[in-house]
């Protein structure tokens, strides 16, 4: 079958290759930044808040994403330590990136005197939008896919021909799990935009993002063939469940303490 995969190299400049993966990730970051800056302007944040944050958050997130991946693939990297820095060969984990980004944002907000929850609420739709776009980098690289399926299965999903062809890898067709997660994240992006107009309290939009993304990631991860494992457990599923429980616990704790404080004020007045 003469199906040619998409060339992952967009442009070759001598010894330097510009890959579609990097271009798509960059596009996701750029669009996410535009959305965040516009909302930040409406909410009274200085225009350079998110650009200043990204100067630190992007490299720290990449390092954390790589370290997270290497940690769970230590059996390989302990034997090939020279490959640890070769991030261009693949091997980063979104949960590692999120940990790095959140930690950076917490420190950044303390330094700038900004409420972390306010900034996180503004950034939440941007984060999930960037993730939705970034998954198409996995599509180009023919990675982050699921188990083998038939061509008829993919055709029954009414997918465009270019997606079906790109899911033909080494003689077999595979679940386009990158697409499932991307669509889930786009829906989440639209939901978060709608929730901005609701009566959610500060921080609850960000917690809604964590819950929505983690639910989708849990189920999509169950279909993938490249999961990072801890014994027989898929780490992304474990982390997703933990994040859901933590986000729900924080939500109810902040609601309860907020109501308790309001009740105390009412009784004191």
Per-residue pLDDT, 263? 53
3-state DSSP: the chain helix, strand, coil percent, rounded to 5?
70, 10, 25
Per-residue pLDDT, 264? 46
Per-residue pLDDT, 16? 85
Classify the phi-psi angles of 137: left when phi > 0, otherwise alpha if psi is within -120 to 50, otherwise beta: alpha
Strand partners, 229: 234
Per-residue pLDDT, 259? 58
Per-residue pLDDT, 247? 97
The answer to whether the beta carbons of residues 217 and 241 sit under 8 Å apart is no
Per-residue pLDDT, 128? 97
Strand partners, 82: none
Classify the phi-psi angles of 158: left when phi > 0, otherwise alpha if psi is within -120 to 50, otherwise beta: left
Tracing tokens 């992304």 back to the chain, one arrives at 236
pLDDT per residue of the chain (269 residues) written in tens, 0 to 9? 568 899 999 998 888 888 898 899 999 999 999 999 999 999 999 989 999 999 999 999 999 999 999 988 888 888 888 888 887 767 788 899 999 999 999 999 999 999 999 999 999 999 999 999 999 999 999 999 999 999 999 999 999 999 999 999 999 999 999 999 999 999 999 999 999 988 889 999 999 999 999 999 999 999 999 888 888 889 999 999 999 999 999 999 988 886 556 554 545 55
Per-residue pLDDT, 203? 93
Query: In angstroms, what CA-CA distances link 75 with 38, 71, 133, 233?
Result: 45, 9, 31, 16
Per-residue pLDDT, 198? 85
The answer to whether the beta carbons of residues 148 and 172 sit under 8 Å apart is yes
The answer to whether the beta carbons of residues 29 and 59 sit under 8 Å apart is no
Rounded (10°) CA dihedral 53, 100, 132, 23: 70
């Amino acid at each position: 079958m003469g199906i040619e995969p998409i060339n992952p190299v967009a442009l070759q400049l001598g010894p330097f290759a510009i890959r579609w993966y990097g271009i798509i990730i960059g596009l996701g970051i750029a669009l996410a930044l535009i959305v965040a800056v516009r909302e930040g302007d409406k909410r009274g944040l200085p225009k350079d808040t998110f650009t200043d944050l990204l100067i630190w958050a992007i490299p720290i997130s990449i390092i954390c994403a790589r370290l997270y991946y290497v940690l769970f693939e230590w059996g390989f990297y302990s034997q090939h330590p020279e490959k640890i820095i070769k991030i261009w060969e693949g091997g980063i984990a979104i949960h590692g990136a999120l940990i790095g980004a959140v930690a950076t944002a917490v420190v950044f907000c303390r330094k700038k005197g900004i409420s972390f929850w306010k900034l996180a609420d503004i950034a939440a739709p941007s984060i999930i939008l960037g993730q939705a776009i970034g998954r198409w980098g996995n599509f180009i690289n023919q990675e982050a896919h699921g188990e083998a399926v038939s061509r008829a299965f993919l055709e029954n999903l009414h997918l465009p021909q270019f997606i079906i062809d790109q899911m033909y890898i080494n003689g077999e067709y595979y679940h386009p799990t990158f697409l499932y997660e991307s669509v889930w994240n786009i829906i989440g992006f639209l939901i978060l935009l709608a929730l901005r107009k609701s009566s959610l309290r500060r921080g609850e939009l960000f917690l809604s993002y964590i819950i929505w993304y983690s639910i989708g990631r849990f189920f999509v991860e169950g279909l993938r063939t490249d999961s990072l494992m801890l014994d027989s457990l898929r780490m992304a599923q474990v982390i997703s469940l933990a994040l859901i429980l933590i986000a729900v616990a924080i939500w109810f704790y902040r609601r309860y303490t907020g109501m308790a404080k309001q009740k105390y004020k009412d009784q004191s007045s």
